[in-house]
């Protein structure tokens, strides 16, 4: 009868393979992979080499000359926002931060200093996202030297 058998099946094919168990297995495999599947997020990186000759590696510098752009980041619990200051000047938006940073870099360039680091001095409760956003802006305006301020370790008093 027409339609009762498929082309290449039944009378044509003497070996009748039961493919139903195979379909079951493939269904199970599909289910497993679909449950464990996740799309890969496009990830990038921001290189931030820690200074080799400062902090835990270096000796404390006596009479340091402040040639730096210090970006203070403070957490405001009331407004749940991060307040940013660049060398004690408050900035409220990313554009303003970029403008202030560029102005600082240009000032240093005019006095012949081209390799001035940006020091991110963030408070402990500041979200990492805010810090990364600042690093991102610094990288965008070609500030290569980004440093992180760290609390000085408590030194044991020297024995007389």
Partner 1 sequence: MSKWNVRSIAAQDTIQPNLIPMVDIMFLLLLFLMLGSDMGQRELEAVILPKGIYVKEDKAPKGVVEEQRTTINVYHLQDSGVDSVQCEVYAKRETCRNPKHWRIAVRGKDFLAPDDKKFKELLKDEADIGRKKKTDKVSERKIMLRADGSAPYSLVQGVMHSCAFAGIYKIECGAARVVAESAVK
Q: Note the residues at the interface with partner 1 (CB under 8 A).
A: 4-6, 9-10, 19-20, 22-23, 26-27, 29-30, 33-34, 36-52, 55-57, 73, 80, 122-133, 135-137, 139-140, 148, 150
- Smallest gap from Cβ 117 to partner 1, in A, equals 14
Cβ of residue 13: shortest distance to partner 1, in angstroms? 12
- Give Cα separations from 127 to 7, 43, 79, 132, 155 (angstroms): 65, 19, 14, 9, 29
Instruction: Output the smallest distance, CB 91 to partner 1, in A.
Output: 18
What count of Cα atoms within 13 Å lies in the side-chain half-sphere of residue 72?
10
Q: Which is nearer to partner 1, 10 or 107 (CB)?
A: 10
- State in angstroms the smallest separation of the CB of 52 from partner 1: 5
Structure tokens at 119: 């020091």
Between 49 and 110, whose beta carbon lies closer to partner 1? 49
Residue 98: name the closest of 127, 118, 128 by CA. Answer: 118
Query: For residues 135 and 120, is the Cβ–Cβ distance under 8 A?
Result: yes
Contacts of 71 (CB under 8 A, 6+ apart): 84, 85, 86, 101, 118, 119, 120, 121, 134
Query: 119 forms bridges with which residues in the sheet?
Result: 70, 147
Q: Which is nearer to partner 1, 54 or 87 (CB)?
A: 54
Give least dist CB 18 to partner 1, A: 10
User: With respect to partner 1, which residue has the nearer C-beta, 9 or 67?
Assistant: 9
Residue with smaller CB distance to partner 1, 101 or 135 = 135
């Amino acid at each position: 009868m027409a339609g009762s058998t498929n082309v290449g099946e039944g009378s044509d094919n003497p070996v009748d393979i039961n493919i139903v168990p195979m379909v079951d297995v493939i269904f199970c495999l599909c289910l497993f992979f679909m449950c464990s599947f996740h799309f890969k997020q496009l990830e990038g990186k921001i290189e931030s080499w820690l200074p080799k000759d400062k902090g835990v590696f270096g000796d404390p510098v006596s009479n340091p000359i402040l040639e730096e752009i210090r970006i203070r980041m403070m957490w405001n619990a009331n407004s749940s926002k991060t307040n940013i200051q660049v060398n004690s000047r408050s900035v409220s938006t990313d554009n303003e931060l970029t403008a202030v940073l560029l102005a600082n870099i240009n000032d240093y360039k005019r006095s012949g200093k081209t390799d001035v680091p940006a020091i991110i001095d963030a408070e402990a409760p500041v979200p990492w996202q805010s810090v990364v956003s600042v690093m991102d802006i610094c990288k965008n305006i070609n500030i290569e030297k980004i440093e992180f301020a760290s609390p000085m370790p408590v030194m044991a008093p020297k024995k007389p």
